[in-house]
Amino acid sequence: MDENEVLHLLQHKRHDWMNQIQLVQGYASMGKMERVKEQLRRVIDESEHERRLMNSSAVHFALWLITFNFRHSYYRLAYVINNDVDLSRHDEQLVAYADQTIKAMDEFNVHEELYEGTLQLSDNEENAGITLSWNWTGAFTKEKELIKQLEDIGYRMAYVNGSDLYLELTIE
C-alpha cells in the first residue's frame, strides 16, 4: 500500500469508530443505558477479534480483512476469530480462498444489492487446519451455478437458503 492508501484506510477506520461512539452517545442521551451497554459490548468484542487478527501472524490476510469494507462498496464483512491462533502458515492460502470466494459471489450478485456477511475463523484441532465459515445475506442469481463454483473452489458445505448463503471450508 502506498501512503495515500494507508491514509485513506485510516480515515475509513476513524469514520467507523466515530459512528460507534456516536451510537453510544445517542443511546446515552436518550437514557437507554441497556442499549449503551449492548453497543459497548459490541465494540469491545470487535476490538478483541481485531486484536486476535493482528496477532495471528497472517499479515496478508489481516490486511485483506481490514481493508475489505473499504475496497468493496456492495459488501459489508465482519469477522470473528474464536481464539488466539497462529495463521502464518495459512496466510497466502487464506487470501487466495477469500479472493476466489468474493470473485464467485461477484459473478452471481444482484446489481447494487448490499451483501452483509460474517467470516468466522476457528482452528481445527483434528488436523491442525483452519476452518472458514462464511454467512452472507443478500440475493444471488443462478444459485445452483454459484454453489457449483464455490464447491469447485473447495467448499465442503455451500448452500443458499432464501437470501442467506452459508459456506464452510477447512484449510489443512
- The verdict on 128 and 151 lying in the same domain is yes
In this structure, the answer to whether residues 103 and 164 fall within a common structural domain is yes
* Digitized pLDDT (tens) for each residue of the chain, 172 residues in all: 789 888 888 888 898 889 999 999 999 999 999 999 999 999 999 999 999 999 999 999 999 999 999 889 899 999 999 889 999 999 999 999 999 999 999 999 998 899 999 999 988 776 678 999 999 999 998 889 999 999 999 998 877 887 899 999 999 8
Residues 36 and 86 in one domain: no
Q: What is the CATH number of the domain that holds 83?
A: 3.30.565.30
**160 and 117 fall within a common domain:** yes
Closest by Cα among 77, 18, 21 to 53? 77
User: Do the strands 115-124 and 164-171 form a parallel or antiparallel pair, or are they unpaired?
Assistant: unpaired
pLDDT at 127: 65
Both 122 and 40 in one domain: the answer is no
Of the residues 14, 37, 54, which one is the last residue of a structural domain? 54
> So what's the pLDDT on residue 96?
96
Residues 73 and 40 in one domain: no
Per-residue CA distances from 36 to 48, 78, 153, 160 (Å) = 18, 20, 42, 35
Q: Are 12 and 70 in contact (CB under 8 A)?
A: yes
| pLDDT value at residue 161 | 81
102 and 156 in a single domain? The answer is: yes
d(CA 96, CA 47): 25
The structural domain count of the chain equals 2
- Pair 3, 66 in one domain: no
Say yes or no: 96 and 172 in one domain: yes
> 169 and 112: one domain?
yes
Residue span of the structural domain in which 33 resides = 1-54
Cell triple for 32: 437507554
